[in-house]
A and B are shown apart, each in its own frame.
Chain A
Amino acid sequence: MNRTKPLSGELLRLKEEIHQYAVDYGLDFYPVIFEVCNYDTVCILAAQGGFPSRYPHWRFGMDYDQLSKGNIYGFQKIYELVINTDPCYAYLLNSNRIVDQKLVMAHVYGHADFFKNNAWFASTDKKMMDVMANHGTKIRRYMERYGQDRVEIFIDKVLSIENLLDVNTLFNTPQIERNRQKFAQMQEDEKHLDQDDGRSSSLRSFMKSNLRGKDQAPAVPKQIEDLLPAREIDQRYSGTRDIMKFLMDVAPLQEWEADIIGILREEAYYFLPQRMTKIMNEGWASYWHSKIMTQKACKSSEIIDFADVHSGVMGMSRQNINPYKIGIELFRDIEHRWDTGKFGKDYQECTDMAVKEAWNRETNLGRQKIFEVRKSHNDITFIDEFFTEEFCERQQLFTYKFNPRTGRNEIDSREFQTIKQKILAGLTNFGTPLIQVKTANDQNRSELLLEHVHQGVDLDGGYAGDTLRNIFALWKRPVNLETIQEGKKLIYTFDGRELKTRT
């Protein structure tokens, strides 16, 4: 079953050409492997997050359904797909024109450079292709053993908490994790040392190794009695935002269930950096496709087609910020400012608009600066640091609000600070509500109490209720969520039978 083909002929020659341009510009990436495929295959791959093999789940079928229909009706088209792995895989659509292929290749090299160099991607597994395939095998095996419906329904539940992640976990490289475990082990050992029971140290160490062996033995189902006492759970987990890990570690689950949460969590964390750097990543790739195309690769006969596609991708919307547009413009703005010296104390303190406008110290640091920026920033810090008033004005940005009187969204403000706050708020915690564990022993009845850290926007009540139902299925005791609705404290409770709210 070969749905994709390696490059050949003209495309191969093009790839080598574009690759050389990218290298000349100083982009740095893992080898990029381009494959050519038809639209149906692109839809399949896109539905599976870019990977040729995933675990079986109806959701992928649904996404595939939507994507392939989107193409039939012509309101949606996938241009390119690139995966953050080493080597980096990218897919080209066989029906695209040559000029499209060039653009996509240039764009892909931008992404590939970003994947390799941006700090937030440092802990992502570059062998994810294999990991995903292994996950598929594992889950299929569970399905064979425990029944497809049972496993699939369990996955449905876990998907409900898939967005409850802690971004700081991204910096837990395996090395840090090992050190932490070693440290915990040392503490544990010290405890044991304290309670001297007369046994010799060598005997103790032997017994411990025996214990450890038992720990690692698979297929010992976790019993509820084995679980940590509630007080200890709270000590260890109170305040954690990594709800997936929390439930995986302490909820009364079967071994396979905990394993599935672990699998889904690993995949969620793999995709997390991409959600946190959408603007930068697309901006960076667009910056480079534009640069490579307009300065090198585009033939004069292709320029109109290129401009057509490029402007389509950059098209602004009145309801959403187009990450491609904001991203590319910000990078260009940064490059311009650092080329002309429009930064630093002198520039900031200058009050003469005319002087500021014509400011040019010929610092020529632009290129260097944008490479630095792409290395260390994520969308939030990117916007926070480089989104200036002048930029905001030039991009004609505004915020809008729902007006209940007219029943429609209306432009609310063109004020710089308001707009910036709005954009940043949308990016905080990758655009999802901040949920953390407050206690695992609420009311001293082993009820789970989650807390929504309210930052100005209420939760969707209906969704919150349904999510609690799914968490209950994992926690198996009543689940509570403390939040604020319309300015008042509100607690949702699902006790296994009905959903209640109390204040």
Chain B
Amino acid sequence: MDHPIKRDHARFRKIVKGRIRDNLRKYVSQGEMPIPKGNKEFRVPMPSIDTPRFKFGDQKQGGAGQGEGQAGDPVDGQDGEPGQGEVGSGEGNKELEVELSLEELASILGEELELPRIEPKGKKAMQKTTDKYTSIGTVGPDSLRHVKRTYKEALKRQLASGVYNPDNPVIVPVKSDFRYRSADAKIEFENSAVVIYMMDVSGSMGDEQKEIVRTESFWINLWLKSQYKDIEVRYIIHDATAKEVDEETFFRTRESGGTLISSAFKLCREIMQADYNSSEWNIYPFHFSDGDNWSTDDTKLCLDILDQDIIPNSNVFCYGQVESRYGSGQFYKDLHTKYGERSDNVILSKIKNKDAILDSIKDFLGKGK
């Protein structure tokens, strides 16, 4: 039996998850993103779980310390106290952070937004057999010999036949005692997905707009990661011309100049054709802009590319329009006229401000595509 504290611990985890679910909207809209920690874990800042008590406000309180220095010298900077770690030594004011796995976080998002699970296309296309050593056999190579089980068998046999001597507990296995790990073949379906983010970085997209895109892409990635075994993410920025960049650049770049959305679509088409065979890959092109395009001709070109190349090969094409002071929002209207509300392969969403991010995520992922 486990120690009862494990139950307290499970309870704590449950409360934490509930708390995150309750505050999800706040987390998302304030851009307080969980901090990825490697090995698919995330750290979520969680200040409010503290038991409230009457206590002194601390900022102005100051305190007493030990060390060198003149009046006016800063005392910060030496945060940790190495070695000082016996039980209850000071109730440090460090903010509580809890760790959640990707699955847990995604399931919170999924439950809160009532997202359906994605039915991957091309599921049967890629089969893979893997061998898992889950069972035990009586024959096998020496390298797979299961020592403990072999020992047990030998012990059982010796006990049963009365050869076992407790004073001299020597166990000698014979051939029939040997046990080996043996493999079960399992068929697994591989599915992989690629997300291609395109963003307008022309002058009219400000920092706030980019922040929205960043937050939104984080949660979209999170959900897709939980649904597919592997996902790849590609980033394209464009103004009048498009180029592929890494994640860092994607969210930092700010160009001025005009906007030709078709340039991004063209590049997206190239990437899809070069690297991602649509019968094997689940492809998610996302485009974010403020809705301005240079000319109606270019818009027409965009629609052509979408129709002929991008949409037929993607699971779903998503367009998010982030409202900005300068954007006209024309592109949304154009897409809307063409594809309407209930197109199967095109999802359009308007994102007014940070509070709307969660709803927009629901728009994009709510169809289970």
Q: Show the binding face of A for B, using Cβ within 8 Å.
A: 1, 3, 44, 46-48, 50, 53, 56-62, 64-66, 69-70, 75-81, 152, 156, 159-164, 274, 282, 309, 311-313, 315-325, 395-402, 406, 408-414, 419, 422-423, 426, 432-433, 435, 452, 457-461, 463-467, 469-470, 481
**Contact between B57 and A423 (Cβ–Cβ < 8 Å)?**
no
Contacts of A323 in B (CB 8 A): 89
Q: Which of B62, B82, B87 contacts A409 (CB 8 A)?
A: B62
Is B85 in contact with chain A by the CB < 8 A criterion?
yes
For the A-B complex with A315-B83, A419-B64, A463-B55 known, give 14 more contacts whose Cβ atoms are closer than 8 Å.
Answer: A56-B4, A56-B7, A61-B9, A62-B9, A62-B49, A152-B11, A161-B53, A318-B78, A396-B67, A400-B65, A400-B75, A426-B64, A452-B54, A458-B60
Is B68 in contact with chain A by the CB < 8 A criterion?
yes
**Contact between B84 and A409 (Cβ–Cβ < 8 Å)?**
no
**Contact between B69 and A57 (Cβ–Cβ < 8 Å)?**
no
By beta carbon, the residue of chain B nearest A271 is: B88
Q: Which of A78, A163, A409, A466 contacts B86 (CB 8 A)?
A: A78
Contacts of A317 in B (CB 8 A): 65-67, 78, 81, 84
Contacts of A156 in B (CB 8 A): 51
Is B125 in contact with chain A by the CB < 8 A criterion?
no
**Contact between A400 and B5 (Cβ–Cβ < 8 Å)?**
no
Against A, the Cβ 8 Å flags (1 = close, 0 = not) of B1-28 are 1011111111111110000000000000
**Contact between B71 and A414 (Cβ–Cβ < 8 Å)?**
yes
Q: Which of B7, B55, B66, B67 contacts A460 (CB 8 A)?
A: B55
Instruction: Give Cα A295–Cα B71 distance, bound, in whole angstroms.
Output: 40
**Contact between B11 and A457 (Cβ–Cβ < 8 Å)?**
no
Contacts of A65 in B (CB 8 A): 9, 12, 98
Instruction: Give Cα A58–Cα B69 distance, bound, in whole angstroms.
Output: 43
Instruction: Give Cα A105–Cα B53 distance, bound, in whole angstroms.
Output: 36
Is B76 in contact with chain A by the CB < 8 A criterion?
yes
* Residues of chain B at interface, number, CB under 8 A: 58
By beta carbon, the residue of chain A nearest B87 is: A46
B91: shortest Cβ distance to chain A, in Å? 9
Is B72 in contact with chain A by the CB < 8 A criterion?
yes
Chain B at the A interface: SS class: loop
Assuming the A-B contacts A81-B87, A313-B86, are A321 and B64 also in contact, with contact meaning beta carbons closer than 8 angstroms in the complex? yes
**Contact between B64 and A60 (Cβ–Cβ < 8 Å)?**
no
Assuming the A-B contacts A58-B8, A319-B75, A409-B74, are A50 and B87 also in contact, with contact meaning beta carbons closer than 8 angstroms in the complex? yes
By beta carbon, the residue of chain B nearest A420 is: B64
**Contact between B64 and A400 (Cβ–Cβ < 8 Å)?**
yes
Contacts of A423 in B (CB 8 A): 64
Is B70 in contact with chain A by the CB < 8 A criterion?
yes
Q: How many A-B residue pairs have CB under 8 A?
A: 225
Is B119 in contact with chain A by the CB < 8 A criterion?
no
By beta carbon, the residue of chain A nearest B51 is: A159
Chain A at the B interface: SS class: mixed
A493: shortest Cβ distance to chain B, in Å? 15
**Contact between B56 and A408 (Cβ–Cβ < 8 Å)?**
no
By beta carbon, the residue of chain B nearest A460 is: B57
A-B contacts, 25 of them at CB < 8 A, read A48-B5, A56-B4, A57-B8, A58-B8, A60-B5, A61-B5, A70-B85, A75-B82, A79-B85, A160-B51, A160-B53, A162-B51, A163-B54, A311-B83, A313-B86, A319-B65, A319-B78, A396-B66, A399-B64, A400-B62, A408-B74, A409-B75, A411-B73, A411-B75, A432-B53
Instruction: Give Cα A433–Cα B52 distance, bound, in whole angstroms.
Output: 13
Instruction: Give Cα A402–Cα B13 distance, bound, in whole angstroms.
Output: 36
B238: shortest Cβ distance to chain A, in Å? 40
Contacts of A50 in B (CB 8 A): 87
Contacts of B8 in A (CB 8 A): 56-61, 64
Contacts of B56 in A (CB 8 A): 433, 457-460
B227: shortest Cβ distance to chain A, in Å? 28
Is B58 in contact with chain A by the CB < 8 A criterion?
yes
Instruction: Give Cα A458–Cα B57 distance, bound, in whole angstroms.
Output: 6
B318: shortest Cβ distance to chain A, in Å? 38
Assuming the A-B contacts A400-B75, A410-B72, A470-B52, are A61 and B65 also in contact, with contact meaning beta carbons closer than 8 angstroms in the complex? no
Is B162 in contact with chain A by the CB < 8 A criterion?
no
Instruction: Give Cα A499–Cα B74 distance, bound, in whole angstroms.
Output: 37
Is B135 in contact with chain A by the CB < 8 A criterion?
no
Contacts of B84 in A (CB 8 A): 312-313, 315, 317, 322, 324
B349: shortest Cβ distance to chain A, in Å? 36
By beta carbon, the residue of chain A nearest B99 is: A69
**Contact between A62 and B66 (Cβ–Cβ < 8 Å)?**
no
